[in-house]
Structure 1
C-alpha cells in the first residue's frame, strides 16, 4: 500500500524565490517540531537557533519571510528585544508567529503592537500548522482571492473546529513529549459570582440619558454582568461547547468593563471569552481588524496595553440593549 504524502510543494514569492522561515526556540523538541512543520508546509528554513540568537540579530530581513518564535518566559531584556523585533518586522513586512505562555501573554501582547503578529498560547502542533497556513494566505502572489468578511468568520470557525478535533484525537508526537499534559490550554469563563472591579467611575455612559447624536447610553454594568452570569448558568446543565460564542462574550465583558471604568487585559479577555486562549486571540485580532475592538495603552505603564471597545462597538451594544428595553425578551 502506497504511503500518503502530505508534504506541500515549495512556496515562492512573486519573483519565484522560495519563501523562507527562521525558527527560534530554547526548547530543542519545540524547535524541531517547528522546523518539521514549516518544511512540510513548503517553506525553506533560513536559520534556526535559541532565542538569544534572535535577540542578538541586527536585521530581520536576513532571517526570513516568517519568524517563528517560542518565548514562554520573558525578562526585561527580552521584552525590549521583542519590541525592537516587532518594529523591524513591521518595517520589513516579515510575518511573526509568536508562541508564549499564559503567564507571559500580557507582556508579549504589549511588546508586539506594530507587526500584527499571530500570538499562540501554549500551542500544540495543529495550532502551529494552522498559523503557518494563515501566514501563507496573506502572502502576495499565492493566487488566493481576497477574503470577504463572511469568509474570514467562516475560516475562523473552521480553524476552531480543526484545533478542537486535533486536540481530541492527539498525535504520536504529542504523546512523545510529556511536557504538554492536556493538549490545548483550556480556560474557564468567570465563575457565577464574578464581578468587575468595584470603585470604577461612572463617566455618564450609564445614566440612562441619550448622548449627542441620539445614541443611547450603555446600561448599568451590573445588568450586563447579570446577562453574563445567565449565560454561564447554562454550562451547569449542558456541555459548554454547545454555547461557545466568543465574539459575543468578548463584547459583553468589555461593555460591562467600560461602564465600570475598568481596563481589561488581553489575558482577562481570553478568560472571559470562554474558549482556549489561542482561539480567543484569533477572535480579538479579527474583531480589531473590523473595527470593533481597539488597543488601549496603559497611561501609567508604557510597557502594558489593554483591549477596549471601539466607539462604534460601544454604540452598537448600547443600541442593542435599548432595543431590548423597547421590545420583548431579555439579553442572553
Structure 2
C-alpha cells in the first residue's frame, strides 16, 4: 500500500506546482538547501522551486559551515548522510538558529546516523526523514506548505484532488488513533492541545527520574513478561502479511514499557525498529506521542548530543493499569 502511495506522489511531481509562497508583506519566502550528495541537492532544489520558494543558498554542508554567516531561509532542507563531527556541529547550529527564527526544517538522514542527527535537534522541531525517496521529501515540503495561510494552487486536476484527500485521510487516521489513546491516559482532552508543558517534560540538563509506584497502584509486569508479549505479536508476521497488524503506537509503548521495567534507556533508532514500520513513519509517531505527553525526550547526561525516548510517568501508570486489568502475567498473548 505504501509503495503504491509513493508511486502516486512521484507521478504528481511534474505538474503539482504552487504559486510563489509569500509572506504577509508579499515577499516570496526563501529556502536554504544543504546537501553533500550532488544529486540529492539538485532534487531538493528543483522541488523547492516547484513548490514556490526562492533559493537563498544551495551548497554542501561544509561550504555552508565555512562560509560567512548568512541569513537562514524560511524553509531549510538538509541532507546529512554521514554523522561527522563537523556535520553534527552544523546541525546543532541550524537547530538553534531555526528555533529562534521560526524557520521550518526538513532533515533527511540514514538509519546509521539517525541517533546522532536526532540528538542535534531540540529547539526547531524538524521533520526528520530516514533514507527517504524523493516523493517523501515532496510530501514533507507539502506539510510545510500546509502551514502557510492563504496558499493557492495554480491548478488542480481531479487526480491531484484525490491525492490530497488520501493524504488527509492518512493524517486523520493517525490523529484518531492518538485521540483514542489519550482519554485513558489523562482527563480532559485529546492528543493535540496547546498548553503548558506537563510535569513529565524534561528540559535540557534535567535528568529523567523513574517515579516509584505508590501503595495500591499497579506496577508494570516484569520485563520478561512484556518481551514475551512483543515476541508473540511479532510471530504473526510469519503466517500473515505484517501490514495487517501495523500498530506502531502500541509497539512503541510495549517496547518502552519493557525497557522501563529493565531500567534501560532506548535510543531513537532502536525504537524505530521496534515500531515495525518505516523509520520515517516511526519518527512521526514518536514526535506526535511526545507532543501528546505520552512519551518524553531524555538527554544523555554523559553526552548532550544524544537523546533517548521514555514513557512519561502518567503513561507508565496507564500501561500498568492496563496490564493489571488484562491479567497480563496469566495470559500468553495480548
Give me the TM-score of the superposition, normalised by structure 1: 0.75
Aligned pairs, number:
273
Native 8 Å contact 1:38 1:132 kept in 2? yes
In the alignment, the residues of structure 1 paired with residue 218 and residue 228 of structure 2 have an alpha-carbon distance, to the nearest angstrom, of 20
In the alignment, the residues of structure 1 paired with residue 242 and residue 290 of structure 2 have an alpha-carbon distance, to the nearest angstrom, of 25
Shift of 1:106: 0.6
Q: State whether structure 2 residue 165 is matched by structure 1 residue 155.
A: no
Q: Closer, same or farther in 2 for the Cα pair 1:319/1:29, shift >3 Å?
A: same
Aligned partner of 1:20 in structure 2 is 30
Q: State whether structure 2 residue 224 is matched by structure 1 residue 222.
A: yes
Aligned partner of 2:84 in structure 1 is 75
Q: State whether structure 2 residue 38 is matched by structure 1 residue 39.
A: no
Q: Closer, same or farther in 2 for the Cα pair 1:309/1:152, shift >3 Å?
A: farther
Unaligned residue ranges in structure 2 (runs of 5+) = 1-13, 153-166, 176-209
Alignment equivalent of 2:286, drawn from 284, 292, 310: 284
SS of structure 2 residue aligned to 1:304? strand
In the alignment, the residues of structure 2 paired with residue 261 and residue 152 of structure 1 have an alpha-carbon distance, to the nearest angstrom, of 39
- The alignment yields a C-alpha RMSD, in angstroms, of 2.7
In the alignment, the residues of structure 2 paired with residue 218 and residue 152 of structure 1 have an alpha-carbon distance, to the nearest angstrom, of 36
Q: Which digits, 9 at most, give the CA deviation of each residue in 1:237-268, with x for residues without a partner?
A: 00111111111100000010000000000000
Give me the TM-score of the superposition, normalised by structure 2: 0.75
Aligned partner of 1:190 in structure 2 is none
In the alignment, the residues of structure 2 paired with residue 251 and residue 132 of structure 1 have an alpha-carbon distance, to the nearest angstrom, of 29
Shift of 1:22: 1.1
Native 8 Å contact 1:72 1:99 kept in 2? yes
In the alignment, the residues of structure 2 paired with residue 12 and residue 204 of structure 1 have an alpha-carbon distance, to the nearest angstrom, of 48
Unaligned residue ranges in structure 1 (runs of 5+) = 144-150, 160-202
Shift of 1:51: 1.1
Shift of 1:269: 0.3
Shift of 1:14: 2.3
1:255-274 matched pairs, under 5 angstroms: 255-274=257-276
In the alignment, the residues of structure 1 paired with residue 36 and residue 173 of structure 2 have an alpha-carbon distance, to the nearest angstrom, of 32
SS of structure 2 residue aligned to 1:6? coil
In the alignment, the residues of structure 1 paired with residue 171 and residue 333 of structure 2 have an alpha-carbon distance, to the nearest angstrom, of 27
In the alignment, the residues of structure 1 paired with residue 47 and residue 151 of structure 2 have an alpha-carbon distance, to the nearest angstrom, of 19
In the alignment, the residues of structure 2 paired with residue 48 and residue 157 of structure 1 have an alpha-carbon distance, to the nearest angstrom, of 36
Shift of 1:211: 1.8
SS of structure 1 residue aligned to 2:83? coil
